[in-house]
Structure 1
């Protein structure tokens, strides 16, 4: 009887499997609005709210034309783009045109350039796409709208030859890629060239820009530098949703809400307007049709929800149940919300069934506690070893040896522990972030003695430069200048070293210049003071430290202000120590576009004049209130340095000055500061003054602003007769870019203390 019963159950199970597979294969849910509407165009399914006619689509935004002109049906969007896939999960795959700018003998060739798409109902998917720029003399923009405001992102790709171009790498050498921000609509692509591809025309005659799916569809190859000239499109993805209402308000408007029966309102990704629909659990189909979501028979699905040997599956609306077969009873445990069955146990085994599980449970608990103790002990030991490894790897032993030479001085770098800084920043909580940049993140920390500090957590660490890094820590710790942010120490127990700096209370100069509420309080006197103090600090770093220091990233975001609006030069993450017997260094180009010395950019030769150029941009920002690089300005004025130099040269400086700082009493001083900035922004480094010369000029102007009588009496014959000539004098050569020089003589006896103070400040 037992064998016969098992055979019958096996036959029943096999028949059930065959029937379920036949039933599952036959089920096909409708996706179009009605049987008269096409549900497919070529190889692409067209589900409602999309349709191939106005009667079959929700509205014109979802109208898909089925074009037969090529001989095979091809779906086309309202923006005249080929469609490759439509997903009811809210994605639309299309083929987007490539922006091209090609040249022959330095002259542009007419190609498809600046392709645009005006499709306000759909949003560029920021999770599925990237913005790419291809070329060796190329830069490109993606101009779009975000929150109803114009918005741009850019990317630059440079290479002098194919030597450094790597297949599969898209880091700015031949190929550049940028993440797509959330919520971009209605975009235009621009591809441009710096030198019309004259220098690279043999292997790269064109600049290319496009938005493409971030998958195996695009993998950069050096051959693309030429072959993309024959490509017209690349696959990209749009996010789509319905209307402007949200899931909180849409269901309250039944005349507009189109989610059908047995559905839920689904929230689209951040940045995508409107709402989506999805079928409830246990239902399947098109949720945008009134009866589109239909109950599925889970009993026919694979894998089977019930154990066909011990139980029978029963389908119910939206779910299923499992009923135990004869000879089986309900098990205590539940699997996927359904009953599990087991063989019925004899009555006399009930006590054994209690004792055995209890004994096993006690044994497992003891084993778990013992194993946990061993595991956490090993993890603690592993963590200690890892910290020791990082400490040695980051030069900790070398730093300790060098610090032993400075025991007589109180100004030495303190070595912090990883736990100390983690506690100071509340485990690097996001609320403690002061700022983020390309090289790392800065956190606000509070030490156990309640001292507030700024802790910089870098993104990368070059192990080949550890000795130089340790030397920089030692030197920067020794800097004691009132206009340089003080380095307090570092932590070397983490994978990337952490640097601890003095905390400055009033934020960055950039925020004070470009924030309308803050800029009104930044008077001309304060701006001149900030410029003079910054110049003095840079001159000190160049000329008065034991080892000259080049900052390499001078910009308004790296100049902090305290409560008295005193400037504090900060962020030495890209700084470099210059051997005293060298005047220039060959390095990889680092810095910030808009502030970057063009001579350094093209030659890779870093000199102190590179900092002078960046400082010139800072002064131009102080005078105009404009950003160093702004894509909202006309193309010829996007670079502030070029715009500023042109305005000074063409005697139209007053057109670009910040109106908040100009008055009859200071226009002469403003003009003089503008002339200094113009000299600093000279294209050739040899035409620029030194930071020491700039600092003395600015401090002289500041003194004359404080004491107007100083300017009037400085050259007055009567004053000279009364006081006699100054006992000492010195010459300052300020180059104006022409063949002649303007030489100013200034008496040292009355000015030395104030002029030289920012250069020799040892307080």
Structure 2
């Protein structure tokens, strides 16, 4: 019901923003596209072809015809009878929706020396666009000064204070030093302006004037104008031609415009029934490059007006002047096109390489020898073609995955980094062409093969998907990840970028995963409590290294027991951090492939779509539950209320019964104090709010403290029956305060109890 209401409100908002069909679409020779508009449709406005200035106070200026504010224009009839659009008292020359720009006409400032009265007459103009949607284009405008012995300033004020000031000096030696189309300081001077300039005023320096003319005009001129339009002529300073041409001394200036003062990212987080302007289907939002605000563009393959409903229409690429398919047959698609070879041919129609099919009659006529020769030639050509095509595809994938940028990066780092770019042939040979017999791991994110490279066992991961937006930086990010150096983290040795899915090459860890140790080792002796504690501590320490000591810092993003590998002596090796999130210092966050696994997902991350290091802490809390209970994070064989290990823990912990689901080996070796501290630690890691969870550093320190507590020589070891009776008595022990703040020092209460026993 709420979704239907939101959709209805959205339709109403879009309908109210659309221009009325009676609005003027043109003023004189100038097109007026929405969000710009001429006046408004009001109670006394009817029909087309007239200036609709609303006389009704109900709708207000700008209603129905424009987006309002600075987008509302007037259409004035000049003395010559020609209609021209104006913004205030400034004439509008043309409007561009694609570029987000408006060209205006405004006066040239001047300073003229009068030899009769020995004084200077100044005409200093300014243009104020503050409190509007316009700002002067810093790319298409130049502050231009014309004259001799002239110094002119361009000023911007915020209140009574000058917030920006620059100047330009133009000098003259003789007429030979003045050259047409040259504006470098002799007779003409130009300088750039900063971004987001919305006001400017011209000020001539009175210490400079044209009293000593030497055959030059006694007037100097200055204006902020369109650089591409202006071409300096020597006649500008030998006569007053500049003031006589171009609409009586008016020159064009280019204004950038934008919607509102917020970015696309901010607008996207809001409800769409607010004032979002990109209402057409197949439209996209782009941030303004000159000051705050955003613009709307049609998506690739579409053109039109993105500010009106259904304004972006498909471009029929097949009807363009040049056929995009060369000799092939073009078929138009929504936002794109496809190419097909004509009937009787085959090949690459996109590049005009359609090869005629070989007729059967030709084969019969040539005879057996001719057929053999033809087949051999065709086969050779096909093999060459396929090889070239394969090499082209390799280069294409290599470029898409940022291979060339990666090579430059590796050169700049000299030979200190052992990271290597492997060729596809190397990895095919290492895995026997990715034979299924060499598969050592298979999951939702990809397949892992065992291979041999340079007499070294390696693990080669082949992902199933990769974010298209992040392909270009894939190689560079893997190079950064290869710098990770920790004894409990799998070493990333290199990558292959010549295939559709880039491959990652890791060191090989031979003893399986923690998941296998916990859940699939029925015939092995259960892991001791010391082993479980060491695995937990080494894992936490490795994650702490990624969070706080790696440069840049790394969020793993997919912490689970199947991503914790074990060496022959059960030494931890954290893996799959190549699908993580990097946090470069001083820059905004960017991410590679973000993966999630049911049962380990941080619920706050699902709600906010923001992956943080506290997301790893939550997932690690689930791993601790697995490790000390021997139960799976999600078990579909259990009842619905016990299917989730986290839910089961929460229910039993609230009833002081957590010890019931502990693994028998843990019950056998642990004491009550240890179980209490472990329960508190897991509970803190699994808190719903990330800010309430501890850091991985604090988790690692707490686990180290638990190891010390476990190994204290005065802790009495209980046999199985005695331990069971002690665990049954846990319900009478005062439960730890569920709202307490996680503090490592306060959690090491076991030591004080031990001292009490002594």
Q: TM-score, normalised by structure 2?
A: 0.46
